Amino acid sequence: MRRAARKRRTRQLEQVFEAVQGDHTHPFAHEIYRRVHKRLPRISLATVYRNLHSLVEEGKIRTLLLDGQGARYDPETSEHDHFVCERCGRVDDLFLWRARRRIDLTSLAKHGYVVMTHNLTIHGMCPACASRRRLSRPSRPAARKP
Ligand SMILES: [Zn+2]
Ligand SMILES: [Zn+2]
């Protein structure tokens, strides 16, 4: 009986992890729940939350908290920042430090701060929304057919 319960728990944890893995859209818990629920119809949202929490504790996934939103989950565990599209709400991973454009935090150290980690969130428009806006802008007249 006990072994069966443990097996079930492991399976649930695996399914939750699988649902987050490879998903770089930074899904919310209820989205992950919907996905896992298709495979394990008896799983509850509370169980999904619990499993997400343990995956975060184990360092297998990360949480992302943005202003006024619930926790999002992120399979990308290496150091990175985020771009938030104000139009469609998509959240993209940014690897600015790979481009050697890390924020210079040495001035903070000079003022006695001890920096442990930093979070940078850039807000704006994603390429898709930006190009849609360009297309709908009436500044350029539409090409007329000859
Ligand atoms: Zn967008
Ligand atoms: Zn991310």
What span, in angstroms and rounded, lies between the C-alpha atoms of 72 and 54? Answer: 15
pTM of the model: 0.78
Q: Is residue 143, in this structure, part of any structural domain at all?
A: no
The region, left, alpha or beta by phi > 0 then psi within -120 to 50, assigned to residue 85 is: beta
Tell me which residue of 77, 109, 104 sits closest to 93, measured CA to CA: 77
**What residue ranges in 15-104 does DSSP mark as E strands?**
62-64, 72-74, 81-85, 91-94
Distance 126 CA to ligand 2 centre (A): 15
143 pLDDT higher than 60: no
Whether 1 and 70 map to the same domain: the answer is yes
| Interval between CA 135 and ligand 1 midpoint (Å) | 14
d(CA 78, ligand 2 centre) in Å: 9
- Domain end marker among 59, 77, 95: 77
Domain count, the chain: 2
Same structural domain, 67 and 84? no
pLDDT tens per residue, range 119-137: 789 999 999 999 998 877 6
Per the structure, the complete domain to which residue 131 belongs is given by 78-137
